[in-house]
């Protein structure tokens, strides 16, 4: 076999493997950013399916129910325009700064029971590196 063809073959095998890794990895891990309004609107139309979502909103302080013995955290998030709320269930530890009005980002799926089942709850601290200006 001429050198060129060998080289092209070897490179295509490599590229093919790499492409396969990228595409399959991507399909397993893609997450859609949505607002609470978008989530409830899409859920009403039944368009959400089993997609992984990343939803941000503000925490409703008085909705927080934390049961340490069961490791179960329930709370509600409210949209920026204060119109829609979304209940969240998270099997995990309550974050340190879980106060009313803090910005919360949840990763997970929206279930048919209209509860957001979160795999991850992140709180955005208002003063990370830079102070608010």
Partner 1 sequence: MANFGTIGLSIAFGMGIYSVVAFFMFNSNRGLKYLLSAKNAVYGTALFTTLSVFAMLYALITGDFSIEYVTQYTSQDLPTIYKLTALWAGNAGSLLFWAWILVLLAALVTVSKENREYIPYASPIMMVVSVFFLFMLNFVSQPFVQLLNPPPDGMGMNPMLQNPGMVIHPVTLYLGYVGFTVPFAFAMAALIMKNPGDQWIKLTRKWTLISWLFLTLGNLFGAQWAYVELGWGGYWAWDPVENASLMPWLTGSAFLHSVMVQERKNMLKIWNMVLIIVTFGLTLFGTFLVRSGVVASVHAFGNSSLGAYFLIFTSLIILAALYLVADRINLLRQGNQFESYISKESSFLLNNLLLVGSAFSIFWGTVFPIVSEAVVGQKIAVGIPFFNQVNAPIGLAFTLLMGICPLIAWRKANFENIAKNFLWPWIIAIIGMLLMVFIGGITKPYALIAYTICVFVISSTLQDIFKGVRVRKKLTGENLIVSLIRLLSKNRRRYGGYVIHMGIVMMIVGITGSNVFNSEAVKTFKPGETAEVGGYTISFKGLQQTSRDNMEVIYADLSVIHNNNDMGNLQVEKVFYSTSEQPMTEPAIISTFKEDLYVLLTGWEDDGTAIFKIHINPQIKWLWTGGWVIVIGVIFALWPGKGSGVGSRYLGRGEVSYGKRVR
Which residues would be at the binding site for partner 1 (CB under 8 A)? 3, 6-7, 10, 14, 18, 21-22, 24-26, 28-33, 52, 54, 66, 68-69, 71, 93-94, 96-97, 99, 105, 107, 122, 125, 127-133
Nearer to partner 1, 75 or 113 (CB): 75
Question: Closer CB to partner 1, residue 2 or residue 113?
Answer: 2
- State the minimum distance, in angstroms, from the CB of residue 68 to partner 1: 5
Do residues 123 and 97 lie in contact, with contact meaning Cβ atoms separated by under 8 Å?
Answer: yes
What are the φ and ψ backbone dihedral angles of 59, each rounded to 5 degrees? -80, 135
Distance of alpha carbon 110 from alpha carbon 53, whole angstroms: 8
Maximum CA extent, the chain = 73
Q: Which residues contact 98 (CB under 8 A, 6 or more apart)?
A: 59, 64, 75, 123
Q: How far is the CB of 111 from partner 1 (least distance, A)?
A: 19
Q: Measured from the CB atom, is 81 or 96 closer to partner 1? A: 96
């Amino acid at each position: 076999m001429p050198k060129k063809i060998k080289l092209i073959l070897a490179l295509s095998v490599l590229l093919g493997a790499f492409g396969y890794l990228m595409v399959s990895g991507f399909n397993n891990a893609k997450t859609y950013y949505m607002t609470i309004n978008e989530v409830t609107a899409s859920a009403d139309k039944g368009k959400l399916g089993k997609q992984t979502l990343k939803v941000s909103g503000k925490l409703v302080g008085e909705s927080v129910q934390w049961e340490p013995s069961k490791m179960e955290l329930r709370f509600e998030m409210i949209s920026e325009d204060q119109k829609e709320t979304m209940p969240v269930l998270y099997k995990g530890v309550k974050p340190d700064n879980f106060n009313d009005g803090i910005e919360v980002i949840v990763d997970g799926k929206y279930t048919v029971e209209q509860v957001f089942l979160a795999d991850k709850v992140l709180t955005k601290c208002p003063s990370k590196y830079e102070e608010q200006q």
